[in-house]
Chains A and B, each alone.
Chain A
Amino acid sequence: MRKLSWIVASVALIACAGYLFVYIYRWEWHRALLVGILFLATLVGLCTGLVLRRLSAVAHRAPTRDDHPPAALERLRAAPVESRPFPWLRPPSRSRSLDGAHIFIPVLLGGGFLVSGIAWAIERVAGSSARSGVEEQLAADLEGIAFPTTPLVPTDAELLACGDDYADDAALRVLLGPASSGSYR
């Protein structure tokens, strides 16, 4: 019965898609709209059925050992054991030669750390001493290309106010500033 439902739904979907194409091909838009709605409804129903089937299959499947990832403890136990960390710090064994090379790496690491610290301090001091002068110089350079304090073009209202009717109004000219004299930059 379930299989029959899937077959019927699939056939309906294919038929709707076919008729949709045919009706559009024939310029029969109303029929195409109706069949398109049916096509969408069938598609949504079919997809919903597929999702529900997959969910029910997952829900009904008995949990097995392989379903979950191994726990942290199991991973730790499975990992290779490092039983002897930092072997160069240990005193040389009898089999190794007594050349003192085991102490070289810690000294190198410590030296690198110290040199890095000194370089960081120098960079900080240099940056703090140079920043103020550089910023002042940059501000002075940017001054030349800064936007003017007055607008580049007069606004519509200013143009209207400077019209013929008010052209000789001294008080208005003072109020408008550069707009009244046309002294824009």
Chain B
Amino acid sequence: MKRAVVGLLAAALAVVGVLLLRAELMTVEVPQPAGSYTDVVVRASTVREDPAVTEEMTRGLVSTCRLLVDADVVEDTFLPLGGTDFGFRLRPGLDEFERRELRGCLSDLRVQHLLLDVRRLTTITPAAEIGPDA
């Protein structure tokens, strides 16, 4: 009886886990309105690396992760924001699923000794930028 309960519990956990993963890993392409863009701000930290190369490493990681989503980094938008924070803009804007993918890629351990903390990742559409009153 006890084994059956444990087995049922494990099976229920597995089913819930699979359903959660299925919902989270879905890659549905949601069309974004023309003129939309995504602003990203990351905080970089390095381990056993010269701080001078932090920006270069971050640029490399951003270039790699940009390939996973259907958007390009807008030219000259990769800027240091003070300290070890960097910001860049992607066009066209990313939908919800692409934002998850990009956040995971940037936070992942793809580049050795570099860890990025995604501080902001927001898609802005022209309507939202102008505001509802306009």
Contacts and interface: CB of A to CB of B under 8 A. Distances in A.
B34 interface: no
Nearest to A28: B108
Contacts of B103: 26-27
Contacts of B110: 30
B17 interface: yes
Contacts of B105: 27-28
A24 to B, nearest CB: 6
Interface in B58-104: 100-101, 103-104
Interface residues of B, number: 14
Interface stretch (B1-9, B18-26, B37-45, B122-130): B18-26
Interface in A13-42: 21, 24-31, 34
Nearest to B101: A27
Contacts of A29: 104, 108
Interface size class of A (residues with CB under 8 A): 10 to 19
Interface string B104-115: 110111100000
Nearest to B111: A30
A172 to B, nearest CB: 59
B104 to A, nearest CB: 3
Nearest to A32: B108
A21 B21 contact: yes
A30 B109 contact: yes
Interface in A119-150: none
A31 B104 CA distance: 10
A30 to B, nearest CB: 5
A64 B80 CA distance: 78
A24 B20 CA distance: 11
A26 B104 contact: yes
Interface of B: 17, 20-21, 24-25, 100-101, 103-105, 107-110
30 contacts: A21-B17, A21-B21, A24-B25, A25-B20, A25-B21, A25-B24, A25-B25, A26-B100, A26-B103, A26-B104, A26-B107, A27-B25, A27-B100, A27-B101, A27-B103, A27-B104, A27-B105, A27-B108, A28-B105, A28-B107, A28-B108, A28-B109, A29-B104, A29-B108, A30-B108, A30-B109, A30-B110, A31-B108, A31-B109, A34-B109
